[in-house]
Chains A and B, each alone.
Chain A
């Protein structure tokens, strides 16, 4: 009886101690601020930094205090995340591929054609059922935010066709292997440059084509490169995203899911600056009659071969195709078994 009593007491004691330890751990987690490294080319004045500042007030309600650290250099932010200086980071999808190939593949070439498709994909991958795919090697994707479509800016509208763009000079970011492979696949002559030189190459006429999102149009004065002879192809070749990544061991277990759900609910307001920026683009035209399908086929071929090479995640490619075909069921690709 005594020994039974002692056993029961022992269990109760252990349980009590375990609860206390867990409570202390939680308190320690909430009391100590987590460092959130935020990349925004405009620093604390930038729209992404503003978004993350708002997010940090929401995170407080979930019991997590975030201390924001601005970065204008994305590479440095990633370095600090890797070395453990940052517990949470927000970076572009291009950089996120080292942490989660599935989520970063949302930016695959020709994978998403419009905002509605982007919304649908983000909603799907942010559901609890997809949580497993959002966690990898101790890192978890805590949110995918839309930046908008990447458009091709031409300095001469005469080259606006699949036949004529081949061999033309395209300015690309030197650090981005995906862009480099893409340029090769699409038959462009790639001019690799860093972020500052990248736009200059186009605006000064050294590059014929520049892939860029609408939000870059006014701040980087891309209209100078397009001039009165060029054109902006109103057909996104890919969709850019901002991705929030966390170190799983630094946050409560359900934090990532709460965070993903929050960012999903913010989709329309996050996209507002992009929609406004798209309104400002001069000579912003859809593909010429008869060229849309040619462009789409070119993008698709590149996407399929890049998936085979392991540059894009096959599961994400399958999801993107489902969403495209649900949104535009008359697409030729919807009847074949590829992707």
Chain B
């Protein structure tokens, strides 16, 4: 009886891991980041809200000012939303995307460069962001858990 419980427990654990593995991998992480910026372009707040973990740690480093800001999820999403009001012709070019697994199938990190161009407050703006994006699997979905970005903004 005891043995069968152990076997059952182990198989449940293994099935969870293999399920998680199928959720987060190089290809799904790549798709996640493309979807993320596509949601920003489409002004899809609901989707973004679901894609960012509630306790996400977001750090924004302004290279010119040599200042770092620690933002909460609410701060970060508020800025994305405020941009929607003021910016037009927003475009995001993602390049040099690399995925590193930190915990097989459960968490990983994407490193990438993102060129953001837009017209805002009557000015054309182009900024380069060097990013590290932490991803985790939570509630059967990939979520952004950490974002460290160095920006020319």
Contact status of A228 and B123, CB under 8 A, knowing A285-B69, A286-B70, A286-B75 = yes
User: What's the dominant secondary structure at chain A's contact region?
Assistant: loop
Chain A neighbourhood of B75, CB < 8 A = 234, 284-286
Q: Which of B60, B67, B85, B121 contacts A280 (CB 8 A)?
A: B85
- Shortest B79–chain A CB gap in Å is 7
Q: Which of B64, B69, B121 contacts A286 (CB 8 A)?
A: B69
Complex formed: what's the CA distance from A160 to B69 in Å? Answer: 11
Contact status of A284 and B121, CB under 8 A, knowing A160-B67, A289-B68 = no
Closest A residue to B74 by beta carbon equals A279
Does A158 touch B at the CB level, under 8 Å?
yes
Closest B residue to A290 by beta carbon equals B68
Does A157 touch B at the CB level, under 8 Å?
yes
Complex formed: what's the CA distance from A234 to B82 in Å? Answer: 14
Does A192 touch B at the CB level, under 8 Å?
no
- Evaluate contact between A284 and B65: CB separation under 8 angstroms: no
- Evaluate contact between A279 and B70: CB separation under 8 angstroms: no
Contact status of A157 and B70, CB under 8 A, knowing A279-B82, A281-B82 = no
With A227-B121, A228-B123 already in contact, 9 other A-B pairs whose C-beta atoms are closer than 8 Å: A228-B125, A234-B75, A282-B83, A282-B85, A285-B60, A285-B79, A286-B69, A289-B68, A289-B70
Does A310 touch B at the CB level, under 8 Å?
no
Tell which of B64, B67, B71, B120 has the most Cβ of chain A within 10 Å. Answer: B67
Interface residues on A, range: 20 to 34
| Cβ-Cβ contact count across A and B, 8 Å cutoff | 54
- Evaluate contact between B82 and A284: CB separation under 8 angstroms: yes
- Shortest A317–chain B CB gap in Å is 29
What is B's interface to A at a CB cutoff of 8 Å? 60, 62, 64-65, 67-71, 75, 78-79, 81-83, 85-86, 120-121, 123, 125
Chain A neighbourhood of B83, CB < 8 A = 282
Q: Which of A157, A223, A234, A282 contacts B65 (CB 8 A)?
A: A157
Chain B neighbourhood of A283, CB < 8 A = 79, 82
What is A's interface to B at a CB cutoff of 8 Å? 157-158, 160-161, 223-224, 227-228, 234, 278-286, 288-289
Chain A neighbourhood of B69, CB < 8 A = 285-286, 288-289
6 residue pairs A–B, Cβ–Cβ below 8 Å:
A158-B64, A279-B78, A282-B79, A284-B79, A285-B69, A289-B68
- Shortest A330–chain B CB gap in Å is 16
Chain A neighbourhood of B82, CB < 8 A = 279-284
Chain B neighbourhood of A289, CB < 8 A = 67-70
- Evaluate contact between A288 and B123: CB separation under 8 angstroms: no
Chain B neighbourhood of A279, CB < 8 A = 78, 81-82
Complex formed: what's the CA distance from A219 to B67 in Å? Answer: 30
- Shortest B104–chain A CB gap in Å is 32
Shortest beta-carbon contacts, A-B, top 6: A288-B67, A282-B82, A289-B68, A285-B69, A282-B86, A158-B65
- Evaluate contact between A284 and B78: CB separation under 8 angstroms: yes
Closest A residue to B78 by beta carbon equals A279
Chain B neighbourhood of A281, CB < 8 A = 78, 82
Complex formed: what's the CA distance from A157 to B68 in Å? Answer: 12
Contact status of A288 and B68, CB under 8 A, knowing A279-B81, A280-B82, A280-B85 = yes
Chain A neighbourhood of B62, CB < 8 A = 157
Complex formed: what's the CA distance from A157 to B60 in Å? Answer: 14
Complex formed: what's the CA distance from A158 to B81 in Å? Answer: 24
Closest B residue to A288 by beta carbon equals B67
Complex formed: what's the CA distance from A278 to B75 in Å? Answer: 11
- Shortest A326–chain B CB gap in Å is 21
Complex formed: what's the CA distance from A131 to B67 in Å? Answer: 47
Complex formed: what's the CA distance from A282 to B120 in Å? Answer: 10
Complex formed: what's the CA distance from A102 to B121 in Å? Answer: 42
Chain A neighbourhood of B79, CB < 8 A = 282-285
Chain B neighbourhood of A228, CB < 8 A = 120-121, 123, 125
- Shortest A226–chain B CB gap in Å is 9
Chain A neighbourhood of B121, CB < 8 A = 223-224, 227-228, 282
Chain A neighbourhood of B78, CB < 8 A = 278-279, 281, 284
Chain A neighbourhood of B120, CB < 8 A = 228
Complex formed: what's the CA distance from A280 to B65 in Å? Answer: 24
Chain A neighbourhood of B81, CB < 8 A = 279
Chain B neighbourhood of A158, CB < 8 A = 64-65
Chain B neighbourhood of A227, CB < 8 A = 121
Closest B residue to A285 by beta carbon equals B69
- Shortest B117–chain A CB gap in Å is 13
Complex formed: what's the CA distance from A20 to B86 in Å? Answer: 66
